[in-house]
Amino acid sequence: MRNPGMSLSPFKRDIDELIDELVEGDLTTFTDMKRVWLSRNFSYIYEAIPNTNLAFSIQSLYSHVIGHMVSNYSLTRRLGGLYCL
């Protein structure tokens, strides 16, 4: 069940940690991303997203992920952002 009063900060932190793990391990393939994603039980992220203003919540998370892709970050970080989309 979704929690309507929940902040998006924990989701953003989880995304950052997932991408950080890819960067630290220099993991660039989608297979690597899938392995890390599953090891962190990320498949459940959509179950916990607040249902109040769902469109805004999803857009905010997309914007956060895109932030990893549009700067001068390493290729691994940009790929991690792309895979998170």
Measured on CA atoms in the order 60, 7, 73, 18, is the torsion positive or negative? Answer: negative
Closest CA to 26 of 79, 81, 65, 85: 79
Domain containing residue 72:
9-42+54-84
- Judge whether 67 lies within some domain: yes
Count of structural domains, the chain: 1
pLDDT at 10: 86
pLDDT over threshold 90, residue 7: no
Supply the Cα-derived Rg of the chain in whole angstroms: 13
Answer with the residue of higher pLDDT: 54 or 83: 83
Q: What's the predicted TM-score (pTM) here?
A: 0.81
Q: What pLDDT, on the 0 to 100 scale, is given for residue 1?
A: 40
Residue 37 belongs to some domain of the structure: yes
Confidence of residue 2 (pLDDT cuts 50, 70, 90): very low
Q: How far is CA 41 from the centre of its chain?
A: 12
Q: Is residue 60 part of a domain?
A: yes
Average pLDDT (15-39) is: 95
